[in-house]
Chains A and B, each alone.
Chain A
Amino acid sequence: MTRVYVPRDSAALSVGADHVAAAITREAAQRGARIELVRNGSRGMLWLETLVEVETPNGRVAYGPVNPEDVVSLFDADFLSGATHALSHGLTEKIPYLAKQERLTFARVGITDPLSLSDYLAYDGYKGLKNTLAMVPADVVQQVTDSGLRGRGGAAFPTGIKWKTVLGAQSAQKYIVCNADEGDSGTFADRMIMEDDPFVLIEGMTIAGVAVGATQGYIYLRSEYPYAFDVLNQAIAIAEQAQYLGENIQGSGKTFHLEVRLGAGAYICGEETALLESLEGKRGIVRFKPPIPALKGLFGLPTIVNNTISFASIPIIMDKGGAFYKNFGMGRSRGTLPFQLAGNLKQGGLVEKAFGLTLRELVEDFGGGSASGRSIRAVQVGGPLGAYVPPEQFDTPLDYESYVGISAMVGHGGIVAFDDTVDMAKMARYAMEFCAIESCGKCTPCRVGSTRGVEVVDKIIANDNRAANIELLRSLCDTMLNGSLCAMGGMAPFPVLSALNHFPEDFGINKKELAA
């Protein structure tokens, strides 16, 4: 019996993984080959999807990208024994893209069957919860603080401090809310965790509930992720069945219930207070802070809101200790970040590395340069509110503070590359347009400023009073930066200004005029 792996991650499905799996099953039956087909998560080397793996005595051997038409020739070449083929890449673990990573949060992703609890347990799953159940709550929170973990949703707020606030809040009912709205273009780490290792998110949220005394959790999931919705619901049912969720978890007397709720296509509902409004069944309008959600969150009660990756990083911290996690990274950016390589890159995918590597390493070494073969001109880091980084800045280390130093942000780790055909004035216009479409409308600088911003960029492009309109665009950005209630209006100027400052020629002016 040979084990063959074909991913069930939706990125793999999007390029035909189900058809590949069916072709392999059919061909094996015809040839009388005995195989066990496992639908694993994706290894994150997405340019190789559909990536098929075969288990051999030396380890798993990779073939990709496999299309259904390739299956007959794979059998002919005896891929079931790990033989070479035009599509083979040797041992999966030795592929440099994977071998060079530091996978902590994504340790199991791609290796296991996402819905197999026994796989999860066999690969260190629920060790963190076990330790948690043997500790007093304050010590759990201390471990999280010691790990140096900062929120992976974008704002990079220290997770331990947030948890401590909720722990200290007096209330009969508290909530744990997972922000799985992942709206940034170029990001899919949350999606992969949910589809490819859902138990790690469930475990992380359960630990949070036990640590601060919350018995109800919600995962607020964007509606664009129907596959993740299915997997999470199945995983929750399995965890309940095995008493990892519900009443009296593993005989500890602790209770934690978990439910998935769908968003409805509003980017602003990724902002934590808009998210809470939405969970309460209201329009996703941003709340004034204070009060902070840790004290008055969901239905006005103390609530931890954390990003999916923040929660998914908790189990390994509680398994190996805060100090272990803190050992990775640089400066005040501790641990690892799953970077997501997207857009015009030859080798797009997920790269989990400790903070401190450079964009050049990601784009050139991992990404292999542009998919189009042209030179890379700009990279947007950190989603639609993140700056466009020019090649001159590719050597700045990726850590939160260094990026702030170049007026950019690491955010949720989305890396979107553009080749030299990109029109940066058009991208600036898009940033304003996106803000106009997605603004919650609560404050004027964002609501009106973004619409005006689109008009002004249009005039600049049309060379209508160009110099005056560039000045106007800057002052508009200034108003948005300083006068917006949340980071939607407050950061939309970053992509706009970075485009203007680094690529003035696309706006019809040269660097000298820019300086004047």
Chain B
Amino acid sequence: MSYTELYRDLVDLPGALLPIFHRIQERLGYVPEAALPEIAHQLNLSRAEVHGVMTFYHDFRSAPPGKTIVKICRAEACQAMGADALVEHAEQCLGTQMHSTSEDGSVTLEPTYCLGNCALSPAVMINGDLKGRVTHARFDALIAEAKGANQ
């Protein structure tokens, strides 16, 4: 398969590389290794450079994520309201660790450093939706809702 179709309209932008990665990840959920040589060719860059950029940024995944992507804020304002305990709770009830995907492929858990919802902490983002005042019980309800929506 050629990945170029996904981003052909972006190739001529100045500084096109990040927009291209974002587009591919938006469509596929991750940026496949196999897409990199094509991008390098399209943008006239070395493969090493394209690979270097892709791995520099925390956002870009090199493997497909789970159906539900859960990001939990680990930064100070959320820590002040119990984010560490929320992370522990999440790891336990989702059966997966930070930076990884549950065995059944249902959930990927990722840390994030600030979602800009610091007055309503702890904050999480589930499949791109921001949530605030996330108690453990609310977390469980939000996960159930997200998994239900994915059925």
Given contacts A278-B18, A341-B119, A348-B118, contact A226 B128 (CB under 8 A): yes
B139 at the interface (CB under 8 A from A): no
Q: Are B15 and A416 in contact (CB under 8 A)?
A: no
Q: Are B120 and A427 in contact (CB under 8 A)?
A: no
B24 at the interface (CB under 8 A from A): no
Residue of A47, A186, A283 touching B53 (CB-CB under 8 A): A283
Chain A positions 410-431 with a Cβ under 8 Å from a chain B Cβ: 414, 416-419, 422, 427, 430
Given contacts A342-B118, A434-B113, contact A281 B18 (CB under 8 A): yes
A183 at the interface (CB under 8 A from B): yes
Q: Are A186 and B77 in contact (CB under 8 A)?
A: yes
B132 at the interface (CB under 8 A from A): yes
A280 at the interface (CB under 8 A from B): yes
A46 at the interface (CB under 8 A from B): yes
Question: Total interface residues on A, using CB and 8 Å?
Answer: 60
Which chain A positions have C-beta within 8 A of B131?
14-15
CB of B46, distance to nearest CB on chain A (Å): 12
Give A289-301 as 1s and 0s: 1 = Cβ < 8 Å from B's Cβ atoms: 0000000000100
Q: Are A14 and B117 in contact (CB under 8 A)?
A: yes
A126 at the interface (CB under 8 A from B): no
A225 at the interface (CB under 8 A from B): yes
CB of A434, distance to nearest CB on chain B (Å): 7
Give B104-141 as 1s and 0s: 1 = Cβ < 8 Å from A's Cβ atoms: 00000000111111111101010011111100000000
- Kindly report which residue of chain A lies nearest to residue B20, judged by CB atoms: A281
Chain A positions 148-200 with a Cβ under 8 Å from a chain B Cβ: 182-188, 190-191
Determine the distance from Cα of A245 to Cα of B72 in the docked complex, in whole angstroms: 37
Stretch at the interface among A203-211, A259-267, A398-406: A259-267
A286 at the interface (CB under 8 A from B): no
Which chain A positions have C-beta within 8 A of B49?
282
Q: Are B18 and A185 in contact (CB under 8 A)?
A: no
A310 at the interface (CB under 8 A from B): no
Determine the distance from Cα of A190 to Cα of B133 in the docked complex, in whole angstroms: 21
Q: Are A15 and B52 in contact (CB under 8 A)?
A: no
Q: Are B57 and A265 in contact (CB under 8 A)?
A: yes
Q: Are A14 and B118 in contact (CB under 8 A)?
A: no
Q: Are B19 and A262 in contact (CB under 8 A)?
A: yes
Q: Are B117 and A188 in contact (CB under 8 A)?
A: yes
Q: Are B76 and A187 in contact (CB under 8 A)?
A: no
Q: List 11 A-B contacts (CB under 8 A).
A: A11-B116, A46-B120, A224-B114, A264-B22, A281-B16, A282-B17, A340-B119, A342-B119, A416-B118, A427-B76, A438-B113
Residue positions of B touching A, CB distance < 8 A: 14-19, 21-22, 43, 49, 52-53, 56-60, 73, 75-81, 112-121, 123, 125, 128-133
Known: A185-B118, A342-B118. 16 other contacts (CB 8 A): A13-B130, A14-B131, A185-B75, A185-B113, A186-B76, A223-B59, A224-B116, A227-B130, A261-B15, A264-B21, A264-B57, A340-B119, A344-B81, A416-B76, A416-B118, A422-B80
